[in-house]
Amino acid sequence: MKMKNVTAVRPSPDGKKILYTVREAVMTGEHSEYINRIYVCNADGSDSIQLTKGDKNSSNPKWSPDGQWVAFTSDRDSKNNLYILPLLGGESEKITDVKTSVGEFDWSPDGKAIAFIMIDSATSQEEKNKKEKNDWYFMNEQVKQNRLYVIWLNDKDSTGKRIQTMLTKEDRNINHFSWSPDSKWIAYDFGKTPMVGDNINFSDIAILNVATGENKLILNTNAAEENPKFSLDGKMIAYECSEDTVVWGGKSFIKIIPVEGGAPLTLAPTPDR
């Protein structure tokens, strides 16, 4: 229980520094949990500095494209929110204020925005029922979807809050996403619902225009397509693909497809598929 573990490693864009998290068990007072704290060091391991302290979890650190900022998630206010921290010194700043929890996130290549996945919050009626202790429900009758959002780091509303936009309003459960190199498009995979069968059997890939909200379905077959990644020139998308139709525990392949559409190309298999 007293052993510490390294749980994430992130080289800086210029390769000179390393972000990493250390997980340890906190068992003092009312605490009995694992806590991640974020550190930075030189690429050779020297001059390690602890960036986050306290008894709240801070995890999944990611460099800004210019290497000047670190984004991470933390449950300091009981909800898992996004924070940014200037590497040259200063306090971390909470940039989201969510009712549920921020999941996976990533900086846009131009550093102007951060996209993230967040599950639907409870409706006003559900909150009312909970307060009245009238909170019985039929399991899976009303599904909460994971949706894709973007928060603009330099654009604020009249109250001074950064502008946050829901990108996927369709009834889709988002699992993974990838920014295009020009920061204009996001490719994502989705299932019908978060339920395991709907995610695996009905996983497809689409791309959306961040500015206009335009959605294009790229892949919709009997196979499960997931984890899309843009090529460095933005012209192709690589993705993982199951057998067609889906075989649970079956083979998987890496395929590439032009962003504009066309026939996918299956890459040569690895020895263990």
Single-letter code of the amino acid located at 253:
F
Task: With cut-offs at 50, 70 and 90, classify the pLDDT of residue 149.
Answer: very high
Number of residues assigned to the chain: 273
- Residue tagged 């909170």 (tokens): 135
The Cα 71–Cα 246 span in angstroms is 36
The Cα 45–Cα 36 span in angstroms is 19
Query: Taking residues 159-186, what's their average pLDDT?
Result: 94
Task: With cut-offs at 50, 70 and 90, classify the pLDDT of residue 124.
Answer: confident
Strand partners of residue 206: 188, 217
Please give the order of strands across the beta sheet that includes 185-191: 173-179, 185-191, 204-209, 215-219
Q: Which of 118, 94, 95, 86 is nearest to 105 (CA)?
A: 118
- Range name among 130-134, 181-185, 251-255 with the lowest pLDDT average: 130-134
Single-letter code of the amino acid located at 209:
N
pLDDT of residue 270: 79
Q: Which two tokens stand for residue 104?
A: 């996976």
pLDDT of residue 147: 96
Specify whether the CB–CB gap between 92 and 126 falls below 8 A.
no
pLDDT at 141 > cutoff 80: no
The Cα 158–Cα 135 span in angstroms is 37
Query: Taking residues 120-138, what's their average pLDDT?
Result: 84
Domain boundaries, the chain: 95-266
Give CB contacts under 8 A, 24+ apart, made by 87-93: 87/40, 92/52
Query: Taking residues 139-163, what's their average pLDDT?
Result: 90
Q: What are phi and psi of 183, to 5 degrees?
A: 65, 15
pLDDT of residue 227: 96
Specify whether the CB–CB gap between 206 and 191 falls below 8 A.
no
pTM of the model: 0.90
Give CB contacts under 8 A, 24+ apart, made by 234-242: 234/180, 234/181, 234/182, 234/185, 234/259, 235/259, 237/178, 237/187, 237/205, 237/207, 239/189, 239/205, 241/266, 242/200
The Cα 140–Cα 262 span in angstroms is 37
Decide which of 247 and 60 is more confident: 60
Task: With cut-offs at 50, 70 and 90, classify the pLDDT of residue 89.
Answer: confident
pLDDT at 138 > cutoff 90: no
pLDDT of residue 231: 97
Q: Is the peptide bond before 245 cis (omega within 30 degrees of 0)?
A: yes
Name the CATH superfamily housing domain 95-266. Answer: YVTN repeat-like/Quinoprotein amine dehydrogenase (2.130.10.10)
pLDDT of residue 197: 84
Task: With cut-offs at 50, 70 and 90, classify the pLDDT of residue 158.
Answer: confident
Query: Taking residues 103-123, what's their average pLDDT?
Result: 95
Query: Taking residues 157-170, what's their average pLDDT?
Result: 91
